[in-house]
């Protein structure tokens, strides 16, 4: 029987784990609650320096509560040292310009934009954005003579020392990314389902039972759903915008897509043995087994990213060779002779002789893409701190600074979510500095904090946050004033309340609500500014006034810069991503036709279209993350928006598969007449890519969306008839080119089969 005391303790911990996954906010808050009051007491009571105490307190608050770097401990400590150096530089700059209002406003706008926009370069900079802004806002909002600069820097130095000790000794964060475990589980369950299905397809004597196959499939589906839920529920991207982050983001979408492919390729669990299912050559079984082995090794590297990737790379090579062998053997699956003219027959039945081999090829290609991203993410984790800071990709030929410039330039576009956020935040802070100086507010620093914390991605939700912020501030002020009234002249009690207030202020925003966080933060400020003084409840009223001005600035800037919010941006980003991906798919098919037809030399591989599609997908990811973080109701269900985003992955993977299929082929440009087959492929590619372009137009302009394309038996018949002269070579077997042509059509049909789900997601209401 459970003890009553244990039950009383267990319930709050269970509630905390439910509302604070991984206890990330609790860990940061606990560290801050220990370090911040200790530094504040040391500077104010031992060193008798109020200036040093203020900067030590807010420096430790910033470095411990507002930032938590990832990676191995050595790299985390280096990141904190880099943050400390940036803090020192920003404190000096803010102190120098604070006396002149116009100069302070101009520099605030410039610094605010540079700090906010620098997050596109790397995860280190993205993680430190708010902490860096606080380093500049604190001195620029508190004009002081240069003689106080040494004390300010000394306070920041003490905060750095305290942060380094706390990060390394007090409840260190696990090195693994919070999503890595979910992704590894998806890989393992997908591998288990592949093996179970393969044994069932091969009708092995020890094949799992129907119930076991069903249970394995259910586990794989549940793991994929948990991964997507964990990703969507993360308020900030777990690893920022670095190479490892982008690889992990792509991995989430690719694993979601892989789960769909595995489910579609699974044999019907109700089919008894020898039920007339299409047969498949042993090489296709080898591909499925090879894919399962690669997925298991990918899961291992996700769990231990600093381990050796050699086993995964070897297994990937083996899978590639198995796919090549399957492509060669697949020619033996095609009928040697077609029925004569005038004979009735079903072209679809002819194509389905390659269906299981095609499914294996599709699975193998998706698995190789996943293995490549896992390898890339692990290599990125093993990078030096300098390469992490500048966002340099592993193995990149470009120098780190060139890579950083390239990434930043990609977001200097009018529709870039990151550019909008940076401009809005910078202008909002500049206006707040001007208002704070012109109105001569006593605690102008909190006006800037209010502006920064309340500003969101559209005017409506900024207004909603303003209401929450004011409500939380009023509640916190009333509680703080009540505490001061009860304490009276016994101000020593405030020292005991300060750590508890900091702890609650750190946990409340994540575990309870934004308003609760504002209330707890207000109580912390009331306590902090009344310690060692006669308690003054007027501080609470000043806090309400300051936050009110900051909220007004946020609403005005939100109305001016981005009245429609992140939903409009994700809408536009979806349209661009579908347009570029459709162009890439059409280019890949055009390259395939050039490789298998007579006439002019084949076109070059559409590598430029591939890069453009990848860049559009990254911009879409940025917009989607802002959409998820945006507070307030969503006009489009999250499931529908996620389906539209994941559809980009399916479309790009289809194009990647077509391009890889023909670039892998050993046959070069030929003089054989396959013009009819080429025309059929180009017509099918034009219709499929055209539908996706129409989808992009409907998303961008809110026009009607055409119906999904139906299956086209006439085109299938034309394709098969066009291959009559290419099915056999001089020695009898069908050629590999015929197989590649049929598989190219299958990839186009796979892209076509996505359309009903995407149309259903797009039609209930456009994401506007």
| Token output for 350 | 């002819």
- Closest by CA to 70, choosing from 375, 403, 305, is 305
Residues 692, 578: contact at Cβ < 8 Å? yes
Residues 6+ apart with CB under 8 A from 437: 101, 104, 444
Question: How many structural domains is the chain composed of?
Answer: 4
The listed range with the strongest mean pLDDT (130-144, 401-415, 422-436, 592-606) is 130-144
682-719 burial: b if 16+ Cβ within 10 Å, else e: bebbeebbebbbbbbbbbbeeeebeebbeebeebbbbb
- The pLDDT value recorded for residue 700 is 72
DSSP SS3 for 312? helix
Tokens 């890949």: give the residue: 588
Angle between helices 50-65 and 149-169 (to 10 degrees): 40
Phi and psi torsions of 20, nearest 5°: -135, 80
In this predicted structure, the answer to whether residue 305 has a pLDDT above a threshold of 60 is: yes
Token look-up 């100069």 returns 103
DSSP helix/strand/coil, 319 = helix
- What percent of the chain clears pLDDT 90, i.e. is strictly above it? 13
Say what the pLDDT of residue 116 is.
83
Q: Which of 531, 563, 595 is the last residue of a domain?
A: 563
* 226 has pLDDT over 50: yes
Domain-embedded: residue 10: no
> Which of residues 109, 140, 175 is at a domain's end?
175
Mean pLDDT over 399-413 rounds to 64
Structure tokens at 20: 């604070």
Tell whether the model's pLDDT for residue 648 goes beyond 60. yes
* Last residue in a domain, options 124, 152, 175: 175
Q: Is 468 helix (H, G, I), strand (E, B) or coil?
A: helix
Instruction: Judge whether 767 lies within some domain.
Output: no
- Say yes or no: 154 and 88 in one domain: yes
Domain that holds residue 207: 180-270+279-381
Domain check: are 158 and 48 in the same one? yes
Q: Is the pLDDT of residue 690 over 70?
A: yes
Residues making up the chain, counted from first to last: 768
Between 67 and 312, residue with greater pLDDT: 312
| pLDDT at residue 95 in the model | 93
**Rounded average pLDDT over 46-59:** 91
Among the listed ranges 130-139, 166-175, 263-272, which one has the minimum average pLDDT value? Answer: 263-272
> Going by C-beta distance under 8 Å and a sequence separation of 6 or more, which residues neighbour residue 734?
331, 332, 334, 336, 726, 727, 728
d(CA 168, CA 78): 12
Give the C-alpha separation, 485 to 536, whole Å. 9
Q: Can you give the C-alpha Rg of the chain in angstroms?
A: 30
In a domain, 400, yes or no: no
For the ranges 227-236, 359-368, 480-489, the maximum mean pLDDT occurs at 359-368
Residue 412 and residue 429: Cα distance in Å, rounded? 21
Region 252-268: what's the mean pLDDT? 76
Q: In whole angstroms, give the CA distance from residue 627 to residue 340.
A: 58
pLDDT at 678: 80
pLDDT bracket for residue 669 (50, 70, 90):
very low
Residue 633 has φ and ψ, to the nearest 5°, of -70, 150
Residues 601, 534 share a domain:
no
490 and 525 housed in the same domain: yes
Q: Are residues 651 and 758 in the same domain?
A: yes
Mean per-residue pLDDT of the chain: 75
Whether 343 and 263 have beta carbons less than 8 Å apart is answered as no
Query: How far apart (Å, rounded) are the C-alpha atoms in residues 758 and 641?
Result: 9
615: confidence class by pLDDT, cuts 50, 70, 90: confident
Residue 96's pLDDT is 93
**CA atoms of 217 and 197, how far apart (whole Å):** 9
Nearest CA to 570 out of 655, 638, 632 is that of 638
- If asked whether residues 263 and 284 sit together in one domain, one would say yes
Residue 261 vs residues 125, 200, 685, 692: alpha-carbon distances, Å? 37, 17, 21, 20
Q: Is 17 inside any structural domain? A: no
- Supply the CATH number for residue 735's domain: 1.20.120
CA dist., res. 159 & res. 170, Å (int):
15
In whole angstroms, what is the distance from residue 59 CA to residue 130 CA? 12
Does residue 391 form part of some domain? no
**CA 758/CA 688 separation, integer angstroms:** 13
CB 31 within 8 A of CB 171: yes
Q: Are 472 and 514 in contact (CB under 8 A)?
A: yes
Mean pLDDT of 690-704: 83
Whether residue 125 has pLDDT greater than 80: no
* 276 vs 360, higher pLDDT: 360
For residue 298, count other CB atoms closer than 10 A to its CB: 32
pLDDT confidence tier of residue 373, bands split at 50, 70 and 90: confident
Q: What is the dihedral of CA 663, 665, 668, 674, to 10 degrees?
A: -100
Tell me, yes or no, whether 582 and 526 share the same domain: no
Residue 339 contacts residue 216 (beta carbons within 8 Å): no
Q: Hey, CA dihedral for 133, 138, 142, 144, is it positive or negative?
A: negative
CB count within 10 Å of CB 224 equals 25
The whole-number pLDDT of residue 21 equals 64
The Cα–Cα gap between 46 and 632 comes to 47
Evaluate if residue 32 carries a pLDDT over 70. yes
Q: How confident is the model at residue 392 (pLDDT cuts 50, 70, 90)?
A: low
pLDDT of residue 385: 56
Distance CA 460, CA 385 (A): 40
Residue 638 pLDDT exceeds 70: no
531 and 599 share one domain: no
- Distance, in Å, from the CA atom of 464 to the CA atom of 451, rounded to the nearest integer, reads 14
218 and 142 share one domain: no
Q: What is the DSSP letter of 45?
A: I
Q: How far is 517 from 35, CA to CA, in rounded Å?
A: 20
Residue 634 lies in a domain: yes
Of these ranges, 394-408, 492-506, 710-724, the one predicted with the greatest mean pLDDT is 492-506
In a domain, 584, yes or no: yes
Residues 155 and 287 in one domain: no
Q: Is the pLDDT of residue 664 over 90?
A: no
Q: Does 402 reside within a domain? A: no
Q: Please spell the DSSP secondary structure of 103-129, one letter per residue.
A: HHHHHHHHHHHHHHHGGGT-HHHHHTH
DSSP state of 147: G
Does the structure show a pLDDT above 80 at 26? yes
Report CA-CA distances (Å) from 592 to 240, 326, 357, 597, 685.
37, 19, 19, 9, 11
Q: What is the per-residue pLDDT for 767?
A: 42
Query: Could you tell me where the DSSP H helices lie in 352-399?
Result: 355-381, 385-389
State the pLDDT confidence band at 459, using cuts at 50, 70 and 90.
very low
Are residues 593 and 727 part of one domain? yes
Kindly give the interhelix angle for 445-454 and 129-140, rounded to the nearest 10 degrees: 150
3-class secondary structure, 604: coil
Asked if 330 and 421 sit in the same domain, the reply is: no
């Amino acid at each position: 029987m459970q003890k009553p005391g244990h039950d009383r303790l267990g319930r709050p911990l269970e509630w905390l784990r439910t509302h604070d996954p991984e206890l990330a906010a609790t860990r940061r808050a606990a560290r801050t609650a220990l370090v911040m009051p200790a530094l504040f007491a040391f500077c104010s009571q031992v060193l008798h320096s109020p200036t040093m105490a203020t900067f030590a307190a807010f420096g430790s608050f910033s470095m411990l509560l507002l930032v938590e770097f990832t990676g191995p401990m050595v790299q985390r400590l280096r990141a904190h040292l880099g943050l400390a150096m940036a803090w020192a530089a920003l404190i000096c700059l803010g102190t120098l310009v604070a006396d002149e209002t116009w100069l302070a406003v101009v520099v605030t706008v410039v610094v605010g934009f540079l700090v906010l926009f620098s997050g596109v370069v790397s995860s280190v900079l993205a993680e430190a954005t708010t902490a860096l802004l606080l380093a500049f806002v604190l001195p620029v909002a508190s004009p002081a003579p240069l003689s106080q600069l040494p004390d300010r820097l000394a306070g920041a130095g003490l905060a750095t020392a305290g942060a380094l000790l706390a990060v390394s000794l007090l409840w260190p964060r696990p090195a693994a990314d919070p999503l890595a475990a979910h992704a590894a589980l998806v890989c393992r369950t997908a591998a288990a389902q592949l093996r179970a299905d393969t044994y069932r397809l091969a009708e092995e004597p020890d094949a799992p039972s129907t119930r076991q196959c069903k249970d394995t499939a259910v586990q794989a589906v549940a793991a994929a759903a948990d991964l997507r839920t964990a990703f969507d529920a993360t308020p900030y991207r777990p690893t920022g915008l670095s190479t490892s982050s982008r690889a992990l983001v792509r991995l989430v979408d690719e694993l979601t897509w892989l789960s769909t492919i595995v489910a579609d390729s699974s044999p019907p669990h109700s089919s008894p043995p020898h039920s007339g299912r299409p047969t498949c050559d042993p090489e296709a079984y080898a591909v499925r087994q090879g894919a399962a082995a690669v997925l298991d090794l990918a899961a291992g590297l996700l769990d231990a990213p600093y381990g050796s990737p050699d086993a995964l790379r070897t297994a990937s090579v083996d899978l590639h060779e198995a796919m090549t062998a399957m492509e060669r053997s697949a020619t033996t699956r095609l009928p040697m002779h077609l029925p004569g003219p005038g004979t009735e027959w079903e072209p679809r039945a002819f194509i389905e002789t390659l269906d299981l081999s095609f499914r294996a090829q599709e699975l193998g290609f998706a698995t190789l893409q996943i293995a490549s991203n896992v390898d890339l993410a692990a290599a990125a984790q093993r990078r030096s701190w300098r390469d992490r800071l500048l966002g340099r990709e592993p193995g990149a030929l470009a120098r780190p600074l060139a890579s950083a410039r390239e990434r930043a330039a990609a977001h200097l576009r009018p529709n870039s979510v990151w550019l909008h956020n940076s401009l809005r935040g910078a202008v909002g802070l500049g206006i707040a500095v001007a208002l704070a100086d012109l109105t001569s507010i006593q605690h102008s620093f909190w006006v800037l904090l209010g502006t920064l914390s309340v500003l969101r991605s559209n005017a409506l939700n900024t207004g909603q946050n303003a209401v929450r912020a004011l409500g939380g501030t009023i509640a916190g002020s009333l509680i703080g004033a009540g505490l001061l009234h009860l304490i009276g002249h016994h101000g020593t009690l405030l020292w005991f309340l300060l750590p508890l207030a900091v702890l609650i202020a750190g946990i409340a925003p994540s575990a309870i609500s934004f308003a609760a966080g504002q209330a707890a933060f207000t109580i912390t400020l009331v306590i902090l500014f009344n310690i060692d003084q006669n308690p003054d409840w007027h501080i609470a009223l000043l806090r309400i006034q300051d936050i009110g001005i900051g909220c007004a600035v946020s609403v005005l800037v939100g109305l001016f810069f981005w009245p429609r919010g992140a939903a409009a941006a994700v809408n536009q980003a979806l349209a661009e991503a579908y347009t570029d991906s459709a162009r890439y798919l059409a280019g890949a098919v055009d390259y395939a036709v050039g490789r298998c037809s007579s006439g002019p030399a084949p076109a070059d591989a559409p590598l430029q279209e591939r890069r453009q599609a990848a860049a559009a997908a990254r911009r879409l990811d940025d917009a989607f993350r802002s959409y998820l973080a945006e507070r307030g109701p969503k006009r489009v269900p999250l499931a529908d928006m996620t389906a539209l985003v994941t559809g980009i992955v399916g479309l790009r993977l289809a194009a990647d598969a077509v391009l890889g299929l023909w670039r892998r082929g050993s046959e070069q440009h030929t003089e054989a007449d396959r013009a009819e087959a080429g025309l059929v492929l180009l017509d099918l590619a034009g219709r499929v890519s055209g539908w996706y372009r129409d989808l992009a137009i409907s998303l961008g302009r809110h026009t009607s969306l055409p119906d999904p394309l139906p299956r086209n038996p006439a085109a299938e018949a034309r394709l098969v008839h066009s291959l009559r002269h290419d099915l056999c070579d001089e020695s009898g077997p069908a050629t590999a080119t015929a197989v590649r042509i049929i598989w190219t059509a299958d990839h186009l049909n796979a892209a076509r089969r996505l359309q009903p789900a995407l149309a259903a997601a797009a039609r209930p209401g456009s994401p506007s």
